[in-house]
Amino acid sequence: MIIDTGANVTIIRADMAYKLGEKLIWTPPCITLLTDKINVHGKVNLNIAFGDAMYHHMAYVADINDQFILGLDFLKEYNFKLDFKNKELHSCSEDTAVFKTKNSDIKPVHQITARVKLHYQPELRQ
Q: What confidence tens digit (pLDDT) does each residue in 1-18 have?
A: 888 888 889 999 999 999
User: 22: pLDDT confidence band, cut at 50, 70 and 90?
Assistant: confident
d(CA 115, CA 19): 11
d(CA 80, CA 105): 21
Task: Give whichever of 50-54, 61-65, 96-100 has the largest mean pLDDT.
Answer: 61-65
Question: Phi, psi (5° rounding) for residue 74?
Answer: -70, -45
> With left for phi above 0 and alpha for psi between -120 and 50, is residue 76 left, alpha or beta?
alpha
Nearest to 11 by CA among 67, 50, 82: 67
pTM summary value = 0.70
Question: Which residue has better confidence, 84 or 95?
Answer: 84
Provide, for the chain, the percentages of residues in helix, strand and coil under a 3-state DSSP scheme, each rounded to the nearest 5. 10, 40, 50
Residue 60 contacts residue 45 (beta carbons within 8 Å)? no
Mean pLDDT score, 109-124: 45
